[in-house]
Amino acid sequence: MTPTTHAASIASAPAFPLEQWYVAGFSWELKSAPVARTLLGHPVVLFRTADGKVAALEDRCCHRELPLSCGTVEDRGLRCGYHGLLFDHGGRCLEVPGQERIPPKACVKSFVLRERDQILWIWMGATPDSVPAQEPPAYEVHGDPAYRFGGDVYHYDAPYQLIHDNLLDLSHLGYVHLKTIGGNASVHMNAELKLSQQGDSVKVVRWMPDSEPPPTYSAAWPFQGRIDRWQEVEFHPSHVRIWTGAMDRGTDRLDNPQRQGFHMRGFHGVTPETETSAHYFWTIATNPHPQMQDPTQLVIDQTAATFEEDKVVIEAQFRNQQRFGARPVVDIHVDAGPNRARRVIERLRTAGARAGEGASA
Task: Print pLDDT tens along the chain (361 aa).
Answer: 333 333 333 344 347 999 999 999 999 999 999 999 999 999 999 999 999 999 999 999 999 999 999 999 999 999 999 999 999 999 999 999 999 999 999 999 999 999 999 999 999 999 888 999 999 999 999 999 999 999 999 999 999 999 999 999 877 666 555 566 555 555 555 668 899 999 999 999 989 899 999 888 888 999 999 999 999 999 999 999 999 999 999 999 999 999 999 999 999 999 999 999 999 999 999 999 988 889 899 999 989 988 888 999 999 999 999 999 888 888 888 888 889 999 999 999 888 666 656 555 5
Which helix or strand (DSSP H or E) is residue 247 part of? strand 239-248
Level-2 CATH architecture, domain 141-349: Alpha-Beta Complex (3.90)
Residues of the chain with CATH 2.102.10.10: 3-124
Q: How far apart are CA 217 and CA 181, in angstroms?
A: 7
- CATH fold of 3-124: Rieske Iron-sulfur Protein (2.102.10)
Q: How far apart are CA 118 and CA 34, in angstroms?
A: 17
Q: How far apart are CA 358 and CA 250, in angstroms?
A: 57
- Residue 90 CB neighbours (<10 A): 12
Single-letter amino acid code for the residue at 360? S
Single-letter amino acid code for the residue at 91? G
Residues of the chain with CATH 3.90.380.10: 141-349
Q: How far apart are CA 323 and CA 318, in angstroms?
A: 9
